[in-house]
Amino acid sequence: LPGAAEWVRTLHAEGWRQAIASSAPRENVEVMHQALGFDGLIDTLVAAEDVSRGKPDPEVFLEAARRLGVPPAKCIVVEDAEAGIEAARRGGMPSVGVAGAGRESASVAVASLADLPSDTFDHLVQE
């Protein structure tokens, strides 16, 4: 997604713990992680093999929160699919809906992560 790599680097520099939590197979997640150059920026990867239920069940996001040692309410899910926004809601996590996802139900909705205001993440964890 446009703007995603920049946000990952910015949030890492600011000390945010980050995970990739995907319903995709681990091999796909690892390939994308490497292709995007996220080594050292992402703290944990959660893939389909790590959970028993897929989105919209929140299990993949709750497992990521557990691995990060962060309460779900202090985790922010960034999603481009309705099922992911619903999973975040069910898990008690604020969400950023991208490219039309969660237009009605996401905490914040943007057309592109490149359009996300710089204080969005701080604002969402303070609510």
What whole-number distance in Å separates Cα of residue 34 and Cα of residue 32? 5
Q: Quick one: which of 93, 78, 72 has its CA closest to 21?
A: 78
pTM for the model: 0.94
Per-residue pLDDT reduced to its tens digit, 54-97: 999 999 999 999 999 999 999 999 999 999 999 999 999 999 99
Q: Which alpha helices (H) appear in 1-118, and where do they start and end? A: 4-13, 26-35, 59-68, 82-90
